[in-house]
Structure 1
């Protein structure tokens, strides 16, 4: 009958490894470190276990009992099925008992991020039948890897998926907020990326810490968000402003178009006259949104926008240059109201909340928000959502920082009902002749 027990091999004045040994038959003994240690003075030769004289030794005592029972049962099963029982078999079963995972290059967090980057062109896009990550998403993974590599230098250790437990996530979150001074939205997005990479690794049978499933990102509450938009009146100021350079004229065209078609800058700046489509003397723009993969069609109806797209279409420009030029355009248009918002601070390399002239806070993202905000309640929300590409009304309302107006649908129903009744033909009524009664 097989026996399973423990021993130490040193009397040194320091902690030593506890070996597990399995006696299969006379003269056939296999032994390997159990993964636990003990100081020789705390070892009992009688029980072949640590003395239970501290919390630490009590825990080790309990775990060795668990391991002894597990290996004993595994030996019996292996002998019954004719398996080879050797040192490698013993090591694997020790790992199996405590669900230990050997840390390899495959289990490194940064290596899997790089794997995602290297295979970006063949990765399936969630919620669609398309493959290939967008350039923006790929850029996000590259930035995320840099952040993880920076944190590894801080903790002086490579991060394995098994390391990502609650204490790790808490310390990482504190570092993002208190040392790196990331905004709530930025820190929340980084944690979202951490969870996404962990779950992606798990799909490839890479062992991850169970806590990875519980990681939660976060974002600013609506009342803490500062959304900049340009009203119809301000857009008219911009349209009539006297500018100084050709670059400013070009930027103004993109701004005016952007505020009328409600698309992200990444989609807006790819437009050319080839995107225009005519039907019944009307102009349509067909767009496949890069971020969502959705196909949307926008009608162009404002006379000044029709004039631009038909007669003087703006030339291509980078988002970075556009953001610079539209600030100059808005300043020349005297969009100078002092408003609260967040602006990049070169010293801290973070956005700083303060009061600034409005033209300093205008960016290409202002275009889409202005479209959604300006036309909200003037045009049915489902129509606006069909143009902006939001998947739900709640997301659209959050985007423009508005609460749901529960009376809006009721008001629209009553308006449509009244219109239907006004257009309804009068009904003919037969009046009985009293003389025929």
Structure 2
């Protein structure tokens, strides 16, 4: 039978640390410093295993409450470890206490068996602070958020439809899960993202030998993406945004967006630029930054419009702002610039193809800047290879899907090639 008690470090006449003593088997005992101290050992009630609430111990009530919470948490965690069939030792127990008291950020039990839901949650929590074996760096903050959302959806399915486990993730589940998401009106790309993440977890668990089910590797168990008619702004529209008179936050957002539209950087990068990122080349200035998403160092020559922004700001870059705030203000900026023509897009939502029409300014986001850069650079005749070096696209196929060029625009570009002249 496992028991928890608290004791002071013996032999101390002054401030004494409080230790948690956990006995969980024959000759199995863990002694762990809680990090809390008693100012005077005489104020410790050994029978109640709590501090006496006296004037000389001003933190007594707070410490007693913390000890109570620690005791409850640790008992529950120990029972979870027993149920998960993990081999329990002092190292595992100490790690759990470190996690609870925030002395550590990640778990160490990498090889212990985990159920599907346990593995799912553990995966994004662990790799949010530890490097992935494939990329050699932790998951990006946005990716962790996506995993957390996807986990909650899988758990909701588990709680309301039927319990999921490794063997249950088969083609029948695939159909049921997509029906479940369609009933909630989710888009096809949103559903595809859930399938993609589930396949990642299943593959990780398979490599860890938690299961031997292989249905998830089937071609029929696929993430079905949909190409959405996302917008881009052409050079004339960008110039209209540059020329309107703005002040305060609107001016700051406009400058951030214009820098993104002329460098191809993601918002996670152009929203954190400083003067230190601006370098001097052989007669020209360029921007150098380590991509937050890929970890690669990117160097981009600065166009005249970006240099004008630097001059206006006396060599400083626009200050960083929350992405949601930027997106909201970009719609106002687009409206002030007269970019309001109606745009219709088609997407699959809830299993049905729907058409949505909005004023173009309502569709401008931080990502529009990056897409505009790639599309405008392509139409201006820049080599695809050079654009991809900046954008980070790994294949031309993915690049051509990303840029937004109409058949007529593509035809105009091809017509300018020397072959046709």
- 1:309 and 2:344 correspond: no
Aligned to 1:165, which of 162, 165, 170? Answer: 170
Deviations 1:52-71, CA, capped at 9 Å, x for gaps: xxxxxxxxxxxxxxxxxxxx
Confirm whether residue 286 of structure 1 aligns to residue 293 of structure 2: no
Counterpart secondary structure, 2:262: helix
- 1:194 equivalenced with 2:201 (yes/no): no
Q: Structure 2 matches for 1:369-408, cutoff 5 A?
A: 369-377=371-379, 378-401=381-404
5+ residue gaps, structure 1, are 1-104, 419-437
1-structure distance, mates of 2:286, 2:190: 36
Q: How does 1:401-416 map to 2 (within 5 A)?
A: 401=404
Please list every run of at least 4 consecutive aligned residues from structure 1 whose deviation after the TM superposition is greater than 4 angstroms.
401-415
CA distance in 1: counterparts of 2:346 and 2:369, whole angstroms: 17
Aligned to 2:130: 122
Aligned positions, number: 299
How high is the TM-score relative to the length of structure 2?
Answer: 0.65
Tell me whether 1:213 sits opposite 2:217 in the alignment.
yes
What's the offset of the Cα at 1:408?
A: 7.8
Unmatched runs of 5 consecutive residues or more in structure 2: 1-111
After superposition, the Cα gap between the structure-2 partners of 1:219 and 1:163, relative to the gap in structure 1 and judged at 3 Å, is same
User: Cα deviation per residue 1:194-232 (whole Å; 9 max; x = unaligned)?
Assistant: 111000011111014220212211111x4xx21211111
Determine the structure 2 residue equivalent to 1:325.
329
Matches of 1:355 and 1:406, distance apart in 2? 27
2:254 partner SS: helix
The Cα of 1:331 is off from its aligned counterpart by 0.8
Paired with 1:364 and 1:261, the residues of 2 have a C-alpha distance of 13
Q: 2:114, 2:405 → 1: CA distance?
A: 44
Contact preservation (8 Å) 1:201, 1:208: no
Q: Is the 8 A contact 2:371 2:404 kept in 1?
A: no
Check conservation: 1:108, 1:158, Cα contact below 8 A: no
Deviation string, structure 1 residues 119-155 (Cα, Å, up to 9, x no partner): 11223253x4x23111122112111111111111221
CA–CA distance in structure 2, aligned partners of residues 148 and 139 of structure 1 = 14
Does the aligned pair in 2 maintain the 1:250–1:314 contact within 8 Å? yes
Equivalent residue, structure 2, for 1:110:
117
TM-score, length-scaled by structure 1: 0.63
**CA-to-partner distance for each residue in 1:356-414, whole Å, 9 max, x for gaps?**
11111101110011111112142111111111111111111010145997998998685
- 2:120 & 2:242 partners in 1: Cα distance? 46
Query: Which stretch of the first structure deviates more once superposed, 391-400 or 117-126?
Result: 117-126
Deviation at 1:170, TM superposition (A): 0.9
Q: Offset of 1:298 from its aligned partner?
A: 0.7
Larger radius of gyration: 1
Using the alignment, how far apart are the partners of 1:125 and 1:143 within structure 2? 23
